[in-house]
Amino acid sequence: MEPVKEEFASLSSISITSRIPDFWKKSPKIWFIQTEAVLTPQKMSDEAKYQIVISKLTPEVIEQVTDILISPPETGKYEKLKRRLLQIFEESEDRQIKKLIGEMELGDQKPSQLMRKMQDLARGRVTTETLLVLWQNLLPPAIRAVLAVSESKSEDILASIADKVMESMTPLNSVSAVQQSSLGNSPENNLISEIEKLNNRLRRLETRNNTSNFRTRSRSRSRGRFQHNQRHNPNWLCKYHYKYKNKATKCVKPCNWKPSQREKPAEN
């Protein structure tokens, strides 16, 4: 039975290891939280946890902990390895604050996703009011306008409102895509409706301008062809002489109408 137990333990270890991602250099603290969520229920030994963490380190990371790997302590191997990795790769408080203040941007993510990242960097080191100001300054003006009339100061509620406003701003969606039932007859909902009306007006104006520009370009091309024929056709006649011949009372240069081309009067 002993070999069966060892084989079962080996398979169990492989299954546990497969549920743990490779070490995250940019978020070591979060990585350990996820890793320990897998390891703790298994009641694994210190040695087993230590070996699993080593298996998840890249060569670049291993270079930072070679002294521990070569001469590990007799006890507390896992905790010592964990402390070293956090010490090396976890950003300092000053670095996190600098990143929070000067390096964040919305990009392609939702406002709520940006909020979560900024909350993680803040970690209680800045007030809620300051965090909201920093976050709102990174949002488009239309979203800031809606948030400005909101009576709520909750980070989660404001992030949810910002997400809905952003959805209503996309070209393929309208204000009906916003879950108005969650906003009710609130200033936020009224302002979203007004923004959508303005967006519709702008889209109509843009369509009208595009149509007008197309017609202008078409007329320009026609004039260009007309002028091109003038320069290269030695027998070109202006529209007056072309249509009325000798009865024309007007002429457009460079018309090639010649007196010899006048029609002879009818003979009696």
Contact 118, 60 (CB under 8 A): no
Asked whether residue 241 falls in the same domain as residue 157, the answer is: no
Please tell me the distance from the alpha carbon of residue 191 to that of residue 188, in angstroms, as a whole number: 5
Q: Which of 36, 62, 89 is where one domain is finished?
A: 89
In this structure, the answer to whether residues 242 and 184 fall within a common structural domain is no
Confidence (pTM): 0.46
Residue 170: phi, psi to the nearest 5?
Answer: -70, 145
Let me know whether 63 and 124 are in one domain: no
Predicted local confidence at residue 232, as pLDDT: 63
- Is residue 131 assigned to a domain? yes
Looking at residue 6, what is its pLDDT? 46
* Last-in-domain residue among 89, 116, 148: 89
Residues 130 and 78 in one domain: no
Q: What is the pLDDT of residue 228?
A: 46
What mean pLDDT, rounded, does the chain reach? 78
User: What does R_g of the chain's alpha carbons equal in angstroms?
Assistant: 38
Residue 222 in any domain: the answer is no
Q: Measure Cα distances from 165 to 68, 182, 219 in Å.
A: 52, 13, 42
Matching residue, tokens 């039932």: 181
- Of the candidates 169, 113, 188, the residue with the CA atom closest to the CA atom of residue 104: 113
pLDDT in tens, 27-75: 898 999 999 999 988 888 999 999 999 999 999 999 999 999 999 999 9
**Average pLDDT of span 171-193:** 52
Q: Could you tell me if 112 and 155 are in contact, meaning their C-beta atoms sit under 8 angstroms apart?
A: no
- Residue 53 near residue 82 (C-beta atoms within 8 A): yes
Q: How far apart are CA 54 and CA 22, in angstroms?
A: 10
130 and 107 assigned to the same domain: yes
In a domain, 251, yes or no: yes
pLDDT (tens digit, 9 = 90+) per residue, 253-263?
878 887 665 55
Together in a domain, 41 and 104: no
How large is the angle between the packed helices 111-122 and 155-169, nearest 10 degrees? 150
Quick one: 10 and 60 in the same domain?
Answer: yes
Tell me which residue of 184, 167, 177 sits closest to 111, measured CA to CA. Answer: 167
Residues 99 and 29 in one domain: no
Are 135 and 177 in a shared domain? yes
Q: Are residues 111 and 184 in the same domain?
A: yes
* Domain presence at residue 25: yes
Q: Are residues 125 and 189 in the same domain?
A: yes
Rounded Cα distance, 115 and 119, in Å: 6
Contact 161, 150 (CB under 8 A): yes
Which pair of tokens denotes residue 45? Answer: 């030994």
Select from 117, 198, 111 the least CA-distant residue to 162: 111
pLDDT at res. 179: 45
Quickly state the pLDDT bin for 177 (edges 50, 70, 90).
Answer: very low
Domain count, the chain: 3
**Residue 168 falls inside a structural domain:** yes
d(CA 91, CA 24): 13
Q: What share of the chain has pLDDT > 90, as a percent?
A: 29
pLDDT bin (cut points 50, 70, 90) of residue 23 is very high
pLDDT for 267 equals: 47
Domain boundary, last residue among 29, 57, 89: 89
Q: Is residue 267 part of a domain?
A: no
Residue 74 lies in a domain: yes
Q: What confidence score (pLDDT) does residue 180 get?
A: 47
pLDDT digits (tens, 9 = 90+) for 116-129: 988 888 877 788 88
User: Do residues 121 and 140 both lie within one domain?
Assistant: yes
- Domain residue limits at 126: 93-194
184: left (phi over 0), alpha (psi -120 to 50) or beta: left
In a domain? residue 207: no
Helices (H), 56-186: 59-62, 66-70, 77-89, 93-102, 111-122, 128-136, 141-148, 155-169, 180-183
CA distance 231 to 241: 17
